[in-house]
Each structure stands twice: as structure tokens, then as C-alpha cells.
Chain A
């Protein structure tokens, strides 16, 4: 039987382009902030779990080796996780598992990306896939979602505006687009039809960190814990005969397993805030459906009705989301730690009033890796 685990410390750098720090300095800033939040030092940490997207993004091969000392891991185990864009959430889950299993009491987990030191579109294709880029892969699926669901075209624009307005409340967010509007989004250049420039995530630098600890050690840290109620990861191949890339089996399975573990029977009612990995605007309704929060074909209606705004009944990406900050390797962990911020009551101006249960989610590769967790202010929340 796994033992309870909680987030007791959170650290984030500002998410910008060309942060004037080394990779050592970048990960240390987030890690030291998380330790300070937890009222701990490197000496209190039993193991370090680090994650980032492909090494080709910065051209530093096996950075977990050169960053180990910078993260105080001398004489301690360091693990490196890699699951493409979902890696930040997978890393958080790996850290939680190390605590839940009883192997380590207190784990520091750190993820980062410094996109300004390389080029993601180049790196993700290994320099030889016709320059299609991530948007080029997802655009046809978005078009197919629109065709199947009959969603009106303004849904994507609406998500793009909502997440950028939320980002104005988040001092760490990369994009602070004061004058964002539906008009601006739809008049921005079409990058990969139907994805406009302003419906796409930025290319960011930044690091995110958390300290996770076991139930008996939670009281060492003064600030409110976020209990990790459950998590799930699922994977499928990028291409195979019969793959449905819109309603993705691994995504459905991942959500189903997670809700079952936590005891959630009606996610829309029982989850107070969600941080979903939405690098292109249309992925908000696509994941609402793809993770069983909305019925098939109904996700876009939640967006359209304002249900996903702060103040709506299912707020999504109150922090501004991936659309406002995308240090790729960290982006999934940011979803997980912003979920924790919501239930700890530390989300500042983008706090959802009284949030008790929050969902963090990421996907990666050709929408083939999924990692999700649910955190709560209570170890055993009443879902009835």
C-alpha cells in the first residue's frame, strides 16, 4: 500500500526568453525557491528527480550528470525522466512514486528548458522532417476535431484570449499581452491552418521545482501541503492502423485510471481547477473531451459558455497555461505545481476561490504520452 505524499515546496523562475543565467543557475533558482518554501535545505533531500525535453533543445547531452552537483545531489541518487512534452508531469509523478513507495522520504524534483539557446522546431525534427514542427503535426488533428464536433471557429480564438488574460495575473508568465483580443488573434498570421500565431505557445526559458515529502515529514514544512491523491501515465505509439488521434485511447485510459484511483466520478463537478497542457488553443476543448471531463463533441461548449474561465464552474489554466509560458521540459511540471498552488491557496491573483481539488495534466510526443495528477488541500476530501 502506497503511503501518502504531499507537495510542501514550490519554486518557479520567471518564464522569459533569454534569461541571463546558466543552466546551473536556472535550475538552482527554482530548486532553492522550492526548498525555501518547504523550509528545508539540500541536506534534507534524499533524492533528486530531474526532467527536460530532448537534449537537442540546448545541445547539452545528459544534463542530469552535469547538473547533479548544482542540485546538491552529491552522494545521493539523481534520476532523469524523459517523455517529450509531457516530461514535466511525468517527472513530478516519478518523484511522487519515490516517496509513496517508501524508498525516500523527501524528494526534490526539478524540470527546465532554455529554448533560447537552441531551436525547438529544428531540434524536435532532428533537422530533417521538412520543417513541419509541432504545430504542423497537430493542425490536421485540430481540423479533424472541428469537423467532427462542428465547433465554431471562434472557440480557438476564445481560448487564446482567455489564457493570455489569465497570464496578466501571473507574474511568472512569459507573455503579458495587455491588449489581447479576439480580433488580434484572428488577424495574427496563420502558421499552420487553422492555427494562428496567437493561438500558439511561445518559446520560453525557465525552470520549475517542487519538494515532495511523506506524511510523517509534512509537519517540518510550515506552509500548507498539497496532497497528491493520485496520478496516472499512459503511452501509445504515434502511428498504427486504426489510431484515433482526436479521441486518443491512451488519454482516455489515463484519465479513467486517475479518476478511479482518486475516487472521482464526476470530474467536472468534483475538480475545482485544472491546468491542462494546451500549447495550441484548440487543445482546451480537445482535452476536456479527451480526458472525460466533457462528453464527446461537448468540450467546446464549455469553452464557449465561459465554464473554463476563472469564475466558471471548471476553470482551466488560471495561470495562463502553456499558451503563455512554454519552457517545454518544465511546462508539464508547471501544470502540476499550479494545480498544487490552487489547493494550497498560493495562486495569488489567479486563485480560484476555495479550490480544494485540482488537476495537473501534460501530453507529449505526437499526443502519445500522458501524465496527470490530482492534488488536494485534504488528504481525504469528501467527494459526495
Chain B
């Protein structure tokens, strides 16, 4: 039997950010070789905001002023083991830097070489990367006060209005015991549900507890249900082309109330029953795949893992009256 690994998947999406009247010029400035703050009353704030953080009053672009290029470290921490997300592949400091001319600090990276070179109150100065796109990572800081050489600037470049922002999160968690038994059942072409000790209703797939009666269910409550059942609900999906979408043709996702179960399995994928023939009440049975394995287990899915079946086919039995399954139309 194939081994069931723990859950491990990465969720990521390329978001965009509109930069607006203050952050836009700030990022454009970093690209073009200068650091901007905003004058707010008798203070200069850097990095700048669209408002006065003290009272929320509006601060417009007429208040932008240049600060730096050198500044003073007001606090710092040493990153001894950088990860791929960090700006350097070698140890460095994150520091709160109050740039000359500013009254607030900006968090940024100092390429100091060694922790021994870092101290609160030390002077640091900005350096511009050769490749700059209008991002806070276009610059970094080094110990000292020597102003950088003026970087080469593309005078025709548009101001930064929208930036891309790829966000990803890797999720790892152990499979819950009830879920593991369910998935192990599928590997043996068995569908395992759990019978609630409170009301006798069979939940497939189970959450490991009866949510209505609020009682836990254990291995003793496991029961096998049939691979045959009744369609209780379906959706015909015309795919929308979003990032990561792999579907191109219309298809059906349906819910099936398996014989012996009181909850439906959702998201059952139907590709080869004609859409015009499909209906609530239709009797279906699973056609198992010969060689079952999983690549995307999780603890919460409400269907069967798609990789366990070739397809679902009509049993040849007469349709069930839709009224008899109307309580199961999720």
C-alpha cells in the first residue's frame, strides 16, 4: 500500500498593489536614486504615508521632501542565517534607520559583513542596486557616510503606479487520524465514513466529529459505505480563465449521496456523462483507478480525492425522486 505523507502544499498568487499619490513617488524615487519622505507639521516622516499617522489628517504629494542618503541606526537585529526570502545570501542586519532630515525610522537591511560592525547609534548610508524596478528592495545600506555615486536613471521611465506582489505560503500539517483512515480506505477502494454515536447519521467524509450534536467520533464509529449513490446537486462550470486555471472546456461538478451515508460527497468530477442528460436523482457508481495514489491530501476536503477514480458511471437503475434527496443538495 502506498505511504500517506503529511500535508505539504504551497499557496501562492501574483497580487498587484496600486501605489497611490505618496508611495508611488517614494518607490519611483528609490528607482531614480533618491529617498523621499513627507513633511507633516514640524516632522518629516520616512517612509512616507498618505496621512499624518498621529491624527489621520490627509498629507498630499506637495509635502514630499528628499532625505538621507545617510542616517543613524536606532535599533537593529542580526540575521545570522538568511533564507531565500532575505535581501542577502550572507549574514546581515535589519535596522531601524533614521535618515538625515527625517524624524522617524525606516526598517531596512544593512550589509555590515559582521555582527561586530553593528551598533546602535552607528552611521549608515544608502546604496542603490544596479537593477532597480521601483521597489523597496532597490536599495540597501552599508556602514559609513560616503554618499553613493549617482545611479544611472532612465529619464523616460514612467512613475511607479502599480507593482506586482507575489505572495506565497507553504502549509505543512500532519494528517488527522480520522482523515488518515479515510484516505487509507480509498487506497483499498473502500469509502469509510463515521456513524455519529449521537443520532446514527453517517458522515462521509467525516470531520472526525458530529458538528450538529457536537460529539467526537472515533475509530469505533468508522463504517464503510457504498461506492454507489444518488446525484443530489450539480453545477455545470464554464471555466473562467484566472491565474493557475487549467480547465478550458465546460464540465460538471456534482454531489453524490452514497448509499449508507447521510452526507454527500461534493466536487465529484464528471467528464463523460452528457450535460443535457445529467440531473438530480441520477444513480451513479464510482469506477476506481487501478493504481491509486495521492499527491494533495488535506484534512478538510469534502469530496473524494479525484485521483482515486477514473470516472463515475450510470448504474442503470431508475432515477430517484428529487424530492427524496432535497435535504442533500449542497
User: Which residues from chain A sit less than 8 Å from chain B, CB to CB?
Assistant: 18-22, 24-25, 28, 32, 42-43, 56, 58-59, 69-74, 114, 116-119, 121-123, 126-133, 135-137, 139-141, 143-144, 147-148, 189-193, 237-246, 366
Assess the B244–A192 pair: CB atoms within 8 A.
Answer: no
Question: Could you say which of B9-17, B61-69, B75-83, B90-98 contacts chain A?
Answer: B9-17
If the complex has contacts A71-B56, A121-B240, are A132 and B235 also in contact, measured as CB distance less than 8 A?
Answer: yes
Q: Once the chains bind, are B51 and A240 in contact (CB under 8 Å)?
A: no
Binding stretch for chain A, among B19-27, B127-135, B221-229: B19-27
B56/A132 in contact, CB under 8 A = no
Interface assignment of B319: CB less than 8 Å from any CB of chain A: no
Is the CB of B85 closer than 8 A to any CB of chain A?
A: no
Query: Which of B9, B50, B322 is the one whose CB lies under 8 Å from A24?
Result: B50
Tell me which residues across on chain B come within 8 A of A56, comparing CB atoms: 13
Residues 225-250 of B, flagged 1 when their CB comes within 8 A of A and 0 if not, give 00000000111111110111101000
- Nearest-neighbour CB distance to chain B for A134, whole angstroms, equals 11
Q: Is the CB of A241 within 8 A of B262?
A: yes
- Is A122 a contact partner of B243 (Cβ separation < 8 A)? yes
* In the complex, residue of chain B having the shortest beta-carbon distance to the beta carbon of A194: B236
Contact partner of B267 (CB less than 8 A), chosen from A58, A130, A189, is A130
A118 to B242, CA, bound (A): 10
Residues of B within 8 A of A139 (CB): 235-236
A367–B23 Cα distance when bound, in Å, is: 39
Complex contacts, B50 vs chain A, CB 8 Å:
22, 24-25, 28, 70
Q: Are A240 and B263 in contact (CB under 8 A)?
A: yes
Q: Is B201 an interface residue (CB 8 A)?
A: yes
Q: Which A-chain residue is minimally distant from B264 (CB atoms)?
A: A239
Q: Is the CB of A22 within 8 A of B19?
A: yes
Instruction: Say whether A25 contacts B20, CB under 8 Å.
Output: yes
B contacts, CB < 8 Å to A: 9, 11-13, 15-21, 23, 49-51, 53-58, 161, 165, 167, 201, 203, 211-212, 233-240, 242-245, 247, 253, 255, 262-264, 266-267, 269, 275, 280, 296, 298, 302, 306, 322, 326-330
* Residue of B55, B263, B330 touching A43 (CB-CB under 8 A): B55
List of B residues within 8 angstroms of A128 by Cβ: 9, 11, 296, 298
| Chain A residues within 8 Å of B55, by CB | 42-43, 72, 74
A119 to B12, CA, bound (A): 12
Q: Are A239 and B263 in contact (CB under 8 A)?
A: yes
Minimal Cβ-Cβ distance residue in A for B167 = A59
Neighbouring B residues of A20 by C-beta, 8 Å:
18, 20, 161
Asked if residues A118 and B56 are in contact (CB atoms below 8 Å), the reply is: no
User: Which residues in B have their C-beta under 8 angstroms from that of A32?
Assistant: 58
Of the candidates B53, B266, B280, the one whose C-beta lies within 8 Å of that of A144 is B280
Would you give the shortest CB distance from B86 to chain A, in whole angstroms?
19
A21 and B15 CA atoms in complex are apart in Å by 15
Pick the contact of A245: B18, B201, B236, B329 (CB < 8 A).
B329
Q: Which of B17, B18, B326 makes the CB contact (< 8 A) with A19?
A: B18
A131–B165 alpha-carbon span in the complex (Å): 22
Give the residue of A28, A189, A192, A239 whose beta carbon is less than 8 angstroms from that of B51: A28
Determine the distance from Cα of A28 to Cα of B53 in the docked complex, in whole angstroms.
13
* A126 / chain B contacts, CB cutoff of 8 Å: 11
Distance A121 CA – B242 CA, assembled complex (angstroms): 8
Chain A residues, CB < 8 A from B239: 131
Q: How far is the CB of A48 from chain B (nearest CB, A)?
A: 10
A132–B327 touching, CB < 8 Å:
no
Q: Are A241 and B329 in contact (CB under 8 A)?
A: no
Give complex CA distance A70, B56 in Å.
6
Q: Are B18 and A21 in contact, with the CB atoms below 8 A?
A: yes
Nearest-neighbour CB distance to chain A for B284, whole angstroms, equals 15
Q: Could you say which residues of chain B place their CB within 8 Å of the CB of A116?
A: 16
Given contacts A24-B20, A119-B13, contact A240 B329 (CB under 8 A): no
Instruction: Say whether, besides A118-B13, A127-B13, A239 and B330 are in contact (CB < 8 Å).
Output: yes
**Nearest CB in chain B to that of A35: its residue:** B56
Q: What A residues does B9 contact at CB under 8 A? A: 128
26 contacts between A and B (CB under 8 A): A19-B18, A20-B20, A28-B56, A42-B55, A43-B55, A69-B56, A72-B55, A72-B56, A74-B53, A116-B16, A128-B296, A131-B240, A131-B242, A132-B237, A133-B237, A136-B235, A136-B237, A140-B233, A141-B233, A147-B280, A239-B263, A240-B211, A241-B201, A241-B328, A243-B327, A246-B326
Residues of A close to B326: CB separation below 8 A: 144, 148, 244, 246
Give chain A nearest CB distance to B90 CB in angstroms. 28
| Smallest CB separation, B7 vs chain A (Å) | 11
Chain B residue numbers with a CB within 8 Å of A129 are 267
Contact between B212 and A240, CB atoms less than 8 A apart: yes
Neighbour of A140 across the interface among B161, B167, B235, CB < 8 A: B235
Rounded to whole Å, the gap between the CB of B266 and the closest CB of chain A is: 8
For B329, list chain A residues within 8 Å (CB): 140-141, 144, 245-246
A74 touches B242 (CB 8 A): no
Q: Are A241 and B245 in contact (CB under 8 A)?
A: no
Q: Min CB distance, A114 to chain B, in Å?
A: 8
Q: Which residues of A contact B235 (CB under 8 A)?
A: 132, 135-137, 139-140, 192-193
Which of the residues B18, B49, B236, B247 comes within 8 Å of A131, measured between beta carbons?
B247
**Shortest Cβ distance from residue B105 to the other chain A in the assembled complex, whole angstroms:** 16
Min CB–CB distance A169 → chain B (angstroms): 29
- Name the CB-closest residue of A to B257: A241
